[in-house]
Chain A
Amino acid sequence: MKSNYDVVVVGGGPAGSMAGWEAVKGGASVCILEKDRDIGYPVRCGEAASDLGLRQFVEPKDSWIAEKISGAVIVSPNESRVNVKFANETGYILNRRIFDYDLSRYASNAGAEVYTKAYVKELLKTDDFVTGVVVDHLGEEKKINAKIIIGADGLTSRIGRWGGLKTQIRMKDMESCVQYSVSNVDVDSDNMIMYVGENFAPGGYLWVFPKGDRFANIGIGISGKHSKHKSAKAYLDQFMEREFPDASILTTMCGGVPCGKPMRRPIKNGLMLVGDAAHQVNPMTGGGIVSGMKGGWLAGQVAADAIIKGDYSEKTLEAYPEKLRKDFGKNHERFYKIKEATAALTMDELNSIAENVLKIPHNKRTLASVFKAAVFKKPSLIIDVLKVLSGV
């Protein structure tokens, strides 16, 4: 580990690896610091991502994919099952352990230095600029100077907080989540299943994502607005007891998913945030793999350009939020509006939406048609639905 780099990335998940990889490709010297002993572990994720999403950056490898899925089944409060085939898309349930590891290898093979068990303790500042970090690497404390720090340190982003960015999330926009990776379950291997309604998951949804060979990720996210009286775990345990009493839980994980509007300006002088740290999550689905990768990808490019220019000020880094907005930022704002409208639906309304959608012939039923029906109270949102879902 050297004491000077152009770019230091804090966090070795997909967003951090993409940021480091792009910055090194753009000619910068890069170091990626991961606090845990392993890249890709522990996993805190439902592990769903789309083929086209991943393909923007990398060719998906078979070893990353636990199961391929061709559609979704949305289950209403009274348990009508609405099956929707993806139109032009294949979905994957990934093995994040292998996937994250490979992205880190790509960054490393391109020339980024990756360190594990490297815990950042402090953000260094000079005047109004972020200029480095203090890292505890295998018990040894080291000071690293950098021209740009990229915080890819997840939901709790201490880099963001230390840097003066508002990382706190409102309760209603925070999804409280638990997931079990379970074996000995008979699940539909061709679809992702989502249960909606306050009996299953108030202000969120409960998911069953197949991972092949009678194995699945079964999890739940409920809004912080509703988590006071009954915990996410209590809802999930109730479901497991009823649906899969014979399942063995091989992994239990919990966590929060930021489902608010995207952070508009995740930058300061010499600092950028990417991934969960910048709340780069689709607020309707809670999916953050692809948007986090995109955030990292864009930030890495902007960082490399800034290094060449020799200017690391917020003004130069402004190119990053501008690109974010043009890319998924605008769509995430649309998804947020749709989420707000659908979260307000009662169980009876959800049941009757399911009934109506089931009247659409299966070969004509799309995710767009489901959500067009779901925003019946706010017809102006139909345009937003078509903009974000028409290609899916």
Chain B
Amino acid sequence: MIKIIENKCDFCGTCVTVCPVDCIEVREASISIDHPVCIDCDLCVEICPILVLETADEV
């Protein structure tokens, strides 16, 4: 499962553009992941320039 450290995010949307299933939504000052759609490919974690996203164990 992907975890967002929200107060770190600059809402640049880079993650949105590499997501293969289009499950990330970034608005002016908010970011959310549609977890049921997410396939845990981790591309968003890898591309984020400032490490806002993390791979977390299932909760």
Contact = CB atoms under 8 A, between A and B. Distances in A.
Chains A and B are bound partners: yes
Interface in B1-59: 10, 12-14, 16-20, 22, 26-28, 43, 46-51
A316 interface: no
A154 B28 contact: no
Nearest to B45: A228
A267 B22 CA distance: 20
Nearest to A173: B18
A227 B46 contact: yes
A154 B18 CA distance: 14
A36 interface: yes
23 contacts: A44-B12, A119-B27, A119-B28, A156-B13, A156-B16, A161-B22, A168-B19, A168-B22, A169-B18, A171-B18, A171-B46, A174-B47, A177-B14, A177-B49, A178-B50, A227-B46, A231-B49, A252-B10, A253-B10, A254-B10, A256-B13, A256-B14, A258-B17
Contacts of B16: 155-156
A233 B46 CA distance: 12
B14 A176 contact: yes
Contact of A36 (B12, B14, B17, B28): B28
A154 B43 CA distance: 20
A224 interface: yes
Given A119-B28, A256-B12, A256-B49, 7 more contacts: A155-B12, A155-B16, A168-B20, A231-B48, A253-B12, A254-B10, A255-B14
Contact of A224 (B10, B26, B28, B47): B47
Nearest to B13: A156
Size category, A interface: 20 to 34
Interface in A171-188: 171, 174, 176-178
A257 to B, nearest CB: 9
Contacts of B49: 176-178, 227, 231-233, 254-256
Nearest to A42: B10
Interface of A: 35-36, 44, 119, 154-156, 161, 167-171, 174, 176-178, 224, 227-228, 231-233, 252-256, 258
A135 B27 CA distance: 14
Nearest to A177: B49
Given A176-B14, A256-B12, A171 B28 contact: no
A224 B18 contact: yes
A228 B19 CA distance: 15
A233 B14 CA distance: 14
Given A168-B19, A171-B18, A233-B51, A155 B13 contact: yes
